[in-house]
Structure 1
Amino acid sequence: MPVWILVGGVSALLTVLIGAFAAHGLEARLDEKALGWIDTAVRYQMFHALALIALGILGRQPGRGLDITIAGYAFTVGTLLFCGLLYTMALGAPRFFGAIVPVGGLAFMVGWIFFIRHAWRMLG
């Protein structure tokens, strides 16, 4: 599924852009807590961008199955909810968005479960 390679590549590029902008353009404007949220979001986004690229590579193998697709969507939703909401909160969005952030973390976990399930099936 080359689409996950594309989505992962775009996400990785955005991670670098956001991280650089935060380090060089926002460092003096945001407090330590907001910068910490951005740091956490950048880290998680890059991990999952690389995971999406791996899914794209795995999806090119025979028998890729539904697991790859579910994992890809889950990683993408996790990135949007977990990382996206941390970015917006750091930039001044209402703190109640923090109540939704764990849903993004749950989406990441779902993605990893299906990633592992696919890997397990490849072994057997």
Structure 2
Amino acid sequence: MKLFLILGAINAFLAVALGAFGAHGLEGKITEKYLKVWQTGVQYQMFHAIGLFVIAFLVDKFPQSNQFSAAGWSMFIGVILFSGSLYVLSTTGIKVLGAITPLGGVAFLIGWVLLIVGTVKAL
């Protein structure tokens, strides 16, 4: 439980900080298109930070369920791959990084499916 709470809090903090940086520090330095890409990374990072908080409580309540822990790791990996690739793409313009973003999206989807499966099994 503690690990996913910490990961959730770190990711929520980073999403707020990176959102502010994008709005104030990157404005006028990168194109409007890349600002939107940056904001997409921030948005998905925050959504999944909240998901990590939910998972932390489920891991605590249902410690016998491996699906919840796996869901947490999948979401965390998704943040790194999805949001991370969008941040780098936005600031560098290296388009090949766009190939990594869908892998993060798949990790997000796997995390949510594992959360569903774990919930069905636990309840």
Equivalent residue letter for 2:112: W
Render the CA deviation track for 1:10-50: whole Å, top value 9, x for unaligned.
00000000000110111111101110111111110000000
In the alignment of these two chains, the number of paired residues is 123
The 5 Å alignment of 1:1-124 reads 1-123=1-123
AA matched with 1:21: F
Alignment root-mean-square deviation, CA = 1.0
Structure 2: gaps of 5 or more residues: none
- Return the TM-score normalized by structure 1: 0.95
Could you tell me which runs of 5 or more consecutive residues in structure 1 were left unpaired when the two chains were aligned.
Answer: none
Deviation at 1:122, TM superposition (A): 2.6
> What TM-score does the superposition give when structure 2 sets the normalisation length?
0.95
**CA contact 2:67–2:118 (8 Å) conserved in 1:** yes
In 2: Cα distance, 1:63 partner to 1:34 partner: 41
Note the C-alpha offset of 1:93. 4.7
Percent of pairs with identical residues: 37
Q: Given residue 88 of structure 1, which amino acid in structure 2 is its aligned partner?
A: V
Give distance in 1, aligned partners of 2:88 and 2:72.
Answer: 23
Q: 1:93 to 1:31 in 2, by over 3 A?
A: closer
The CA deviation at 1:64 is 4.2
